A and B are shown apart, each in its own frame.
Chain A
Amino acid sequence: MSDSDVTREGLRGERTQREALTGAKAGRRRHRRGRGGRGGRGGRGEQPMVPEAEFSSYYGKPVLNKPTWKPLDIAGYLYLGGLAGASSLLAAGAGVTGRPALARPAKLGAAGAISLSLVALVHDLGRPARFLNMLRVFKPTSPMNVGSWVLSGYAPLALGAAAVDLTGRARRVGSLATAGAAVLGPAVATYTAVLLADTAVPSWHEGYRELPYVFAGSGATAAAGLALAATPAAQAGPARRMAALGAALELGTFQAMKHRMGLSAETFEQGKAHRLLRAAETLTAGGAALAVLSGRLRDRRLALAAGAALLSGSAALRFGVFHAGVASAKDPKYTVVPQRERLTAREG
């Protein structure tokens, strides 16, 4: 081997594929503010609002470490919490207004959902002792800690209410438990929004003002869906109304949130999150409409279809929001561009 394999054209016998990019070319990417107009429905054909901005990153690497949570566990946990919390409200209302056929599925739903959500959480943590570990302190700056305390107050009440309903014994205790669960239920449904928002993940944090309402609405539609599917039409009136009101709250506040969020709303319109959220919108709106219709026509099959649509719509929303956040953490654009703009504005 007297002479080198490396020639001016690259390795002998090979062709240089490309030139390695350095500095300005490798690190800087064009970022287009394509999402003009309203609703963000594909910005195609629209003129960008501002000229294309260049943004820098370190070889396109994310600035943030992406959430390590498993989607099924944590998005599932958010969903089940909403379902349980709002179901407890239905159960209490049904108790007060004398609708036993509505109260029972609502109580069972709340108990089942909260148990499953604890299973999901423990599965994500690895072992049950780790959940108890969270109760060794009380820390209002940690939504997960606050949530653990709320859950450990709520879960026994929801389970107790369901147990009394099934056995028919200790009715006084049962109604106390039902009332207690109804008091804590809304907190169980909405604190999960703070859980997501209190992070540096752009698509979760930026929406912190509206996200609790979105989750409240979504919890209401899920609970209404479950109740609709399991309650005879004569007693399901409140569930039907809850479906309509919950859907309006969820869809309305979600739109408001996207409008306010700016760049980080983009991840709601892309990829897996987009497909899930579009499905959530259709299922929730369709489910609410079917729920109202089922009341008019007194049709069990319609009520069942409405229930299924509402339950899956609410789940799709949680998974969509979850995935949008992960996507926004993975792309440095969502961290750098808004911060750079803020900095430039401040420096004048």
Chain B
Amino acid sequence: MSGDQVRADRAGLWFGPQPDVAGASGYPDAPPRMGFFTDTSVCIGCKACEVACKEWNAVPEDGLELTGMSYDNTQGLGADTWRHVAFIEQRKPFGGQQPGVSHDDVDVFAAASALGTDAASPGPGATTPPAGAAPAGAPAGEISPVSPDGRTELRWLMASDVCKHCTHAACLDVCPTGALFRTEFGTVVVQEDVCNGCGYCVPACPYGVIDQRKDDGRVWKCTLCYDRLGVGMEPACAKSCPTESIQFGPLEELRERAAGRVAQLHASGVTDARLYGESPDDGVGGDGAFFLLLDEPEVYGLPPDPVVTTRDLPDMWRHAAMAAVSLGALAVASFARRPR
């Protein structure tokens, strides 16, 4: 436990909660910490954010390919993708229960050819059963098949991912040149004229965000539109989001809003809803960009329990120092004459 004690003492510097991120980085009168709250429950996967980000920040095209894995052809965050919309197609298992109805034995083509010929048929163009004709357990007027709790069996999860602007950002901590810095808004930004392309920040980021651009060797990532923030504008992605899935504002306020949204979703029976990255007690001291998810983080390609690597850095230096001493001792032993 003493190790934890030592850690707690150092907390705030390299890991743990840090209420005044900008202040700790030397901004005495910093504005409130700004961030993103991405509510994936209302995301419609339109990718307006991806496009707006590219346009505003002049991010180059990064390969126009069809991956075939889903509607997501961007695949992940990288040097030339600062916003990435994930599409997850799910057959959601219903806790071992069968959905209200099963159409396994129904030949839909035969059924379609009989459309309009049957008195009971709603006729062409109808997509939902009329009220009262719905199978037991399904709310009237909804698409079947539905589960007893009223949701369709196949669902799409969409989530717009971005740099988390971590409270304790591994990328920033390990950068040997100081190219990555903390802004007065508490966000993390790369200065492209200082970055020397060592690539150290790339494997350091526990979220797989920052990456090296092949042709210039330097690294790039979301700046939370630092240039726009400076003149009181909101980031391009948030501005362009038609459903307000991406919300921008003071982090404190966003956290409150997010807690309210989760409560609302839980009350209406969406028990999967959970926040990700909002807690100042998590392994990175809380994210400046956090999310409302409808499934486990790893389903969206996010790490379930990320920890900033610098939490262990004092330990690492200690072990390296002891190893260096051992090497010295080993050399001394090599020169010491063996006792005869």
Contacts and interface: CB of A to CB of B under 8 A. Distances in A.
Interface in B201-234: 202-212, 217
Contacts of A336: 298, 303-304
Interface stretch (B20-28, B39-47, B245-253, B316-324): B316-324
Contact of A57 (B204, B298, B313, B324): B298
A180 interface: no
Contact of A63 (B70, B75, B92, B303): B303
22 contacts: A23-B155, A26-B89, A57-B299, A58-B86, A65-B77, A66-B203, A124-B198, A125-B197, A136-B178, A140-B317, A186-B323, A194-B316, A201-B203, A208-B319, A220-B330, A220-B331, A224-B334, A242-B331, A249-B330, A325-B203, A340-B304, A343-B304
Interface in B47-97: 69-70, 72, 75-78, 86, 88-93
B90 A220 contact: no
B335 A238 contact: yes
Given A57-B301, A89-B328, A200 B205 contact: yes
A274 interface: no
A155 interface: no
A246 B323 CA distance: 12
B272 interface: no
Given A142-B175, A208-B315, 11 more contacts: A23-B92, A56-B298, A64-B205, A67-B199, A92-B331, A131-B196, A145-B177, A185-B327, A204-B203, A340-B296, A340-B298
A187 interface: yes
B217 A63 contact: no
B194 A133 contact: yes
B19 interface: no
B118 to A, nearest CB: 21
**B contact face: mostly helix, strand, loop, or mixed:** mixed
Contacts of B332: 93
Contacts of A212: 316, 319-320, 322-324
B69 to A, nearest CB: 5
A49 to B, nearest CB: 21
Interface string B286-321: 000000000110111111111001101101110111
B174 interface: yes
A248 B177 CA distance: 37
B15 to A, nearest CB: 11
A274 B198 CA distance: 27
Nearest to A199: B203
A190 B177 contact: no
A96 B337 CA distance: 13
A33 interface: no
A86 interface: yes
Interface in A138-197: 139-145, 148, 182, 185-187, 189-191, 193-194, 197
A143 B309 CA distance: 12
B173 interface: yes
A259 interface: no
Interface string A113-130: 000000000001110001
A335 B310 CA distance: 17
A215 interface: yes
B182 to A, nearest CB: 13
A210 B77 CA distance: 32
Given A56-B296, A61-B75, A340-B304, A142 B174 contact: yes
A200 B304 contact: no
Nearest to A335: B303
A11 interface: no
A339 B306 CA distance: 7
Contacts of B301: 57-59, 61, 63, 332
Contacts of A199: 170, 174, 200, 203-204, 309
B143 interface: no
B333 A213 contact: no
Interface string A223-266: 01000000000000011011001100100000000000000000
A209 interface: yes
A203 B209 CA distance: 19
B196 A65 contact: no
Contacts of A80: none
B102 interface: no
Contacts of A246: 330
Contact of B198 (A134, A137, A211, A213): A134
B325 interface: yes
Contact of B211 (A57, A68, A190): A68
A200 B203 contact: yes
Contacts of B317: 140, 194
A144 B305 CA distance: 26
Contacts of B299: 27, 56-58
Contacts of A44: none
A145 B91 contact: no
Given A144-B198, A200-B306, A216 B324 contact: yes
A208 B316 contact: yes
Contacts of B200: 142, 144, 199
B177 A134 contact: yes
Contacts of A23: 88-92, 154-155
A213 B326 contact: yes
A238 B327 contact: no
Residue of B300, B304, B332 with most chain A CB atoms under a 10 A cut-off: B304
A200 B324 contact: no
Given A23-B91, A130-B198, A239-B334, A220 B304 contact: no
A219 interface: yes
B335 to A, nearest CB: 4
A71 interface: no
A22 interface: yes
A190 B176 contact: no
B14 interface: yes
A137 B304 contact: no
B18 to A, nearest CB: 14
